[in-house]
Amino acid sequence: MRNKISATKADWERERLDKFWEPNKQLLNCLRKYQKYKNKESLLANIVSKYFVLKHRFWSVVTGADIPLNSQLGGGVLIPHPNGIVIHPKAKIGVNCLIFQQVTLGSRDGGAPIIGGHVDIGAGAKIIGNITLGDHVRIGANSVVLTDVPSGCTAVGVPAKIIK
């Protein structure tokens, strides 16, 4: 079951808004829309991008998440409980990832994490530095990851150790 979710092809249904009060999906939606309009040259696109900046600020306050507008998020990202999530602007997140509450993707020595496709990151996990997590990786809750994690592995603990 676990590897049936693609690590390369985005499942955009995971981000689809079904109702208004889905703060997690609203936050992702305004990030996507801002990125769509920010580089267009027209006056209308400029106004629309500013609207999505305001919308992003609103949903950031509602969710308590710090996800920059220029974040590099792959499609199909799930953030079921976005409160307390902090993502460094240089971090790269692959497709179909699952990120729970209180997760930090942070920088150390100027480098930020690169997260592969279909990575599940447990609540409270900290992924710090210029490291890479492969595809289909699982990070345990409250783990502190400071080294690379190969594809298909699970990392748990403080500091995180790879288990099979």
Q: Tell me the domain boundaries of the chain.
A: 19-63, 68-164
| pLDDT tens digits in sequence order for the chain, 164 residues long | 455 888 889 999 999 999 989 999 999 999 999 999 998 889 999 999 999 999 999 999 999 999 999 999 999 999 999 999 999 999 999 999 999 999 999 998 889 999 999 999 999 999 999 999 999 999 999 999 999 999 999 999 999 999 97
Using only C-alpha atoms, what is the Rg of the chain?
Answer: 16
Backbone angles phi, psi at 12, to 5 degrees: -70, -15
Residue 95 CA, distance from chain mean position: 9
The dihedral region occupied by 14, where left means phi > 0, alpha psi between -120 and 50, and beta the remainder, is alpha
Between 3.40.50.720, 2.60.120.10, 1.20.1640.10, 2.160.10.10, what CATH number should domain 68-164 receive?
2.160.10.10
Which residues lie below 8 Å from residue 40, measured CB to CB, with a gap of 6+?
46, 49
Reduced to 3 states, what is the DSSP secondary structure of residue 95?
A: coil
How far apart CA 58 and CA 37 sit, in angstroms, is 18
